[in-house]
């Protein structure tokens, strides 16, 4: 039962942060603003999160797990990316503000770490070994480029559809990485 209360409080804090981010940047956002908007104490906030960036990254993880966990259910990379971009679009105000921050513990770095770990773990699960040597470097380059494109898409107003961006990122896979993803049935 405690977990349910904590989860509800975490979501309440995220909703409060989203509301605050409608009128302020992440850099100017304070924990005090978030807690006042959520109607909880700072102590409650710090029991759940290290700082405002930890809150942003936690919320991002929740939304992204909904899209990338689907790949474990037989969905392709393109389908997982499409879901990711749809979630980002649904929460555009929040993620536009969050992706603009380049402070320590920022969402861009967190997104990279999350997606790189996801692909690495998926490769290890499917093949018995994670990416090594050139494949590891290609995966890092691909993940960094895809985060760069994601951030530009979000900050640029999300003019193109989530489906278009997902398809573009799949087409941008380096040859050797594409070959690896095909062998692991990640491309359909």
* Contact (CB, 8 A) for 13 and 48: yes
E strand or H helix at 133: helix 133-155
Enclosing H/E stretch for 4:
helix 2-20
Q: What is the pLDDT of residue 109?
A: 92
Compute the CA torsion angle 98, 102, 107, 111 (nearest 10 deg): 140
Mean confidence (pLDDT) of the chain: 89
What does each C-alpha distance from 61 to 55, 112, 115, 173 come to in angstroms? 10, 12, 10, 23
Q: Which of 138, 107, 118 lies closest to 72, judged by CA?
A: 118
Identify whether the C-beta of residue 144 lies closer than 8 Å to the C-beta of residue 112.
yes
pLDDT digits (tens, 9 = 90+) for 82-134: 988 998 999 898 899 899 888 888 899 999 998 999 889 888 988 888 898 99
Q: How far apart are CA 108 and CA 73, in angstroms?
A: 26
Q: What is the pLDDT of residue 2?
A: 53
């Amino acid at each position: 039962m405690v977990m349910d209360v904590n989860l509800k409080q975490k979501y309440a804090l995220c909703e409060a942060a989203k509301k605050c981010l409608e009128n302020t940047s992440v850099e100017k956002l304070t924990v005090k603003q978030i807690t006042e908007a959520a109607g909880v104490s700072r102590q409650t906030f710090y029991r759940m999160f290290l700082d405002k960036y930890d809150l942003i990254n936690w919320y991002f993880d929740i939304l992204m797990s909904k899209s990338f966990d689907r790949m474990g259910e037989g969905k392709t990379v393109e389908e997982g990316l499409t879901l990711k971009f749809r979630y980002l679009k649904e929460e555009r105000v929040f993620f536009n503000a969050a992706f603009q921050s380049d402070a320590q513990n920022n969402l861009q770095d967190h997104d990279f770490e999350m997606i790189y770990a996801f692909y690495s773990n998926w490769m290890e699960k499917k093949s018995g070994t994670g990416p090594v040597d050139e494949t590891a470097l290609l995966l890092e380059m691909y993940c960094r480029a895809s985060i760069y494109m994601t951030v530009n898409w979000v900050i640029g107003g999300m003019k193109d559809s989530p489906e278009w961006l997902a398809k573009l990122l799949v087409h941008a896979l380096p040859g050797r990485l594409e070959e690896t993803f095909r062998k692991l049935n990640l491309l359909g």
